[in-house]
Amino acid sequence: MPTATHLSTVDTSTLPPYVLALKERVSYLPEAQVERVLRAYEIGAQAQEGQERKSGEPYITHPVAVAGILAELGLDAETIIAAILHDTLEDTELSRTELAGEFGEVVAELVDGVTKLDKMRFSSRQEADAESFRKMLLAMARDLRVILIKLSDRLHNMRTLGAKDAPSRRRIARETLEIYAPIAQRLGMNKFKAELQDLGFRALYPDRYRVISERIRAAIGNRREAMGKIEMALSARLAVEHLQVRVVGRIKSPWSIYSKMRNEHKSFAQLMDVYGFRVVVDNAMSCYMALGAVHSLYKPVDRRFKDFIAIPKANGYQSLHTVLLGPFGAPIEVQIRTAEMDSVAERGVAAHWAYKTDSGPANSAQARAREWLSSLADSQANTASSAEFIENVKIDLFPDEVYLFTPRGDILSLPRNATALDFAYAVHTDVGDHAVAARVDKKLLPLRTRLESGQLVEVITAPSAVPNPAWLESVVTGKARTAIRQYLKHLQHEDAVDFGHRMLDRALDALGSSLDAIPPAVLDRFLDAAKFKRLEELLSEIGLGNRMPHMVANQLLASRGKQKGQALSPTLASEKITITGAERGVLSFAACCHPLPGDEIIGYLSSGKGVVVHRVECPNVMELRKSPERCVAIEWARDVQGDYHAELRIEVMNRPGVLATIAAAIAAANSNISNVEYVERDAAAATLLFALEVKSRKHLADVIRRVRRTGVVSGAYRYPL
């Protein structure tokens, strides 16, 4: 391949028509940069010579078309060149070093960011797609132009999807609708989003697309006259105010109609019975003047006005939205914005890219996109699984948002159904980790409270507060979910190390030794042979049930030179391990017997889960004792905190008000009911199963006494017995 010592002029007389069209589109670039673009075509065509698309066209037509889409957005030369070469690293012999040598490190970095990971080995197609997508998002975080190339690549692939077989069309279309169209929306690129959605809809549901498209065309034909009259009335009223405006009628897309029919359970007629217009003015102040003018022409609909100029959407979108009662009895939706806002709404981060300076982003969409991508980079650093990372990204791509105020007046945007706990983590991870409650509009509310736009939210924290597993059910944002999982993983590791230490100590003690008596050199050799970097890793493995403490104890003593001891049964241990119940990271309580503080208990080491606690009288214990090496002698500590799950079987007379009477008695005993179900029921009697939260065996006995005193119960006992 030629080197970059000089840039030769490309002979345009031999170029095919599609390249000449690209040359025309990039004419906004300096002549030297246009020559670099044509040089990129020559190298790409040479590298991909002989390769064809499914349609039979030369493969180079695809990257040139992608470059053409980006040229329409006015992107810089590096982006155009990277688009032309975006498949070369993956599909040709061209190396990254050669690419960087010819066009510079920036182009090589962009191409590498777009390149998929097909050459790597994964356990499944889903994992490969997730890892490829994760890599692309991280490249986006370094340079936004990566996603612009990827979106353009996907757009051209969707435009030419007809050459693919039916299963491939459906898979690509679904991926486009679930991932790429929402990313385009998140970056404010509404024009891209709309075309990706409609192309995806047409490929995934061709019959539905055809029916809705035909009905839209028919509806437009029937209402063209009414649209014209409303447009003239709006233009005339705005002219009276001496406003320089452009009024454009808006038509809903097939995907938009289909989505609302499905999600809002509305008929086609209901959705099409709306007239949409966009009013474009010259400055922000004129937007509000235009709003007053249209409100004086037609009556506004109450609670249907939104000011996205004062409070922009998360993707930088700005506009005034209002709904009016029109002259034909149908609502009129009006969007009012400046030409600058209109450009950002259509192109998002790509708007005015050529004029962006190095000092900072040119528009709000770019600034907000960088904030979002920065948060993604933080999230992936704490997420081991690619699939989990993609799950978090999908959550953040929800288009519906709520806008909330901090006590200092700052505005935070969160996905719909976000809770006060999501808000806490959006402020800062430390605030989320130590949150205990929230003041929403000065009213004290729990962290699981769902928030609504416009609320003022203040998070109340306490140094002693920490995340718990139940929090995962109360959050919807990827940031909150990642932070909670990270803390719980760290907590589990600490608990596992502590519990593993205690189990290994008991095992060594039963063999007449201790961990302190093992020479450091012997311990290091053992850890090295077992491929552990630190003692904590071994102890964690024991605590999680992946290694048996008595086996490790025997191996350590054998390594020290003593005769290998016999397999150790936990019943031989000199003392039991005490548990407080707070070791939730490594302890779990068996659902078959629901052990409570005060019960006689036994532990069973379950691989990956740690110690599963059973009551000694549990019917399953006899089977567990057949693996004595996995049994752990444990007992409750004197002071145990927290609530524990218990079940109560109650036989009652079947008459009105019985359930309320029993529930009141349980509440009077300071116990919470988590579930109730009828086990048996006839005209005279019924058997109910209550799932409760209690603090101990004694607390449950108190609940049973109170229930029996109600006079409506013929029997109440712990279940299982």
Q: Which residue has the higher pLDDT, 144 or 455?
A: 455
Whether 262 maps to a domain, the answer reads yes
Structurally, how many domains does the chain consist of? Answer: 5
| Together in a domain, 432 and 524 | no
Query: H or E stretch including 539?
Result: helix 535-543
pLDDT at 706: 93
Task: Please report, as a single letter, which amino acid is at residue 530.
Answer: A
Distances (CA, A) of 568 to 33, 241, 562, 631: 77, 93, 16, 10
CB 151 within 8 A of CB 137: no
Whether the per-residue pLDDT at 6 is higher than 50: the answer is: no
| Together in a domain, 160 and 16 | yes
Average pLDDT of the residues in 297-322: 87
Whether 200 maps to a domain, the answer reads no
**Domain boundary residue among 136, 156, 190?**
190
pLDDT at 615: 94
pLDDT at 353: 67
Could you tell me whether strands 331-338 and 275-281 are parallel, antiparallel, or unpaired per DSSP bridges?
A: parallel
* Set 57, 91, 340, 391: catalytic member: 91
For the ranges 107-111, 162-166, 203-207, 256-260, the one whose mean pLDDT is highest: 203-207
Q: Which domain holds residue 221?
A: 208-351
- Domain CATH for 283: 3.30.460.10
pLDDT at 636: 92
Distances (CA, A) of 485 to 291, 388, 402, 467: 47, 11, 24, 9
510-513 contacts at long range (C-beta below 8 A, 24 or more positions apart): 510/550, 510/553, 510/568, 510/572, 510/573, 510/574, 511/553, 511/554, 511/557, 511/565, 511/568, 513/553, 513/557, 513/562
Catalytic annotation on 91? yes
Whether the per-residue pLDDT at 459 is higher than 90: the answer is: yes
Average pLDDT of the residues in 170-198: 87
| Together in a domain, 534 and 588 | yes
pLDDT at 641: 80
pLDDT in tens, 498-515: 888 888 888 888 888 888
| Together in a domain, 552 and 628 | yes
Whether 64 maps to a domain, the answer reads yes
CA pair distance 349, 351, nearest whole angstrom = 6
Whether the per-residue pLDDT at 572 is higher than 70: the answer is: no
CB atoms within 10 A of CB 549: 29
Residues with Cβ within 8 Å of residue 27, at least 6 apart in sequence: 34
Whether the per-residue pLDDT at 175 is higher than 80: the answer is: yes
Task: Please report, as a single letter, which amino acid is at residue 137.
Answer: L
pLDDT at 204: 92
Average pLDDT of the residues in 336-344: 90
| 363 band by pLDDT with thresholds 50, 70 and 90 | low
For the ranges 179-193, 437-451, 579-593, the one whose mean pLDDT is highest: 437-451
**Domain boundary residue among 190, 222, 246?**
190
pLDDT at 387: 64
Q: Which residue has the higher pLDDT, 55 or 80?
A: 80
Whether 311 maps to a domain, the answer reads yes
* Set 57, 90, 537, 693: catalytic member: 90
Q: In the chain, what percentage of residues exceed pLDDT 70?
A: 86
Residues with Cβ within 8 Å of residue 459, at least 6 apart in sequence: 420, 423, 424, 427, 431, 435, 438
CA pair distance 507, 514, nearest whole angstrom = 9
pLDDT in tens, 460-510: 999 888 888 778 888 988 888 888 888 888 887 888 888 888 888 888 888
CA pair distance 553, 512, nearest whole angstrom = 11
| Together in a domain, 288 and 174 | no
pLDDT at 202: 93
pLDDT at 369: 72
Q: Which residue has the higher pLDDT, 209 or 572?
A: 209
Q: What is the DSSP code string of 266-288?
A: --HHHHHS-EEEEEEESSHHHHH
pLDDT at 569: 44
pLDDT in tens, 48-73: 888 888 777 888 999 999 999 999 98
Q: Which residue has the higher pLDDT, 448 or 178?
A: 448
Average pLDDT of the residues in 600-620: 88
For the ranges 142-151, 310-319, 442-451, the one whose mean pLDDT is highest: 442-451
Whether the per-residue pLDDT at 122 is higher than 50: the answer is: no
Whether the per-residue pLDDT at 3 is higher than 60: the answer is: no
pLDDT at 647: 93
| Together in a domain, 331 and 437 | no
Nearest to 438 by CA among 474, 469, 413: 474
pLDDT at 395: 58
Q: What is the mean pLDDT of the chain?
A: 83
How open is the CA angle 681-684-687, to the nearest 5 degrees?
A: 35
| Together in a domain, 64 and 157 | yes
| Together in a domain, 168 and 250 | no
| 382 band by pLDDT with thresholds 50, 70 and 90 | low
Whether the per-residue pLDDT at 91 is higher than 50: the answer is: yes
- Domain CATH for 712: 3.30.70.260
pLDDT in tens, 234-256: 999 999 988 889 998 888 889 98
pLDDT at 412: 82
| Together in a domain, 114 and 250 | no
CA pair distance 690, 663, nearest whole angstrom = 9
Whether the per-residue pLDDT at 696 is higher than 90: the answer is: yes
Whether 234 maps to a domain, the answer reads yes
CA pair distance 168, 164, nearest whole angstrom = 6
Ranking 93-97, 149-153, 231-235 by mean pLDDT, the lowest is: 93-97
Whether 358 maps to a domain, the answer reads no
CB 401 within 8 A of CB 426: no
pLDDT in tens, 212-228: 898 888 887 778 888 88
Q: Which residue has the higher pLDDT, 120 or 321?
A: 321
| 1 band by pLDDT with thresholds 50, 70 and 90 | very low
**Domain boundary residue among 308, 325, 351?**
351
Whether 107 maps to a domain, the answer reads yes
pLDDT at 96: 85
Catalytic annotation on 207? no
pLDDT at 413: 79
| Together in a domain, 497 and 474 | no
| Together in a domain, 625 and 656 | no
| Together in a domain, 25 and 82 | yes
pLDDT at 390: 64
For CA atoms 582, 583, 584, 587, give the dihedral sign: negative
- By CB atoms closer than 10 A (0-12, 13-18, 19+), residue 318 is buried
Nearest to 504 by CA among 561, 547, 560, 559: 547
Whether 7 maps to a domain, the answer reads no
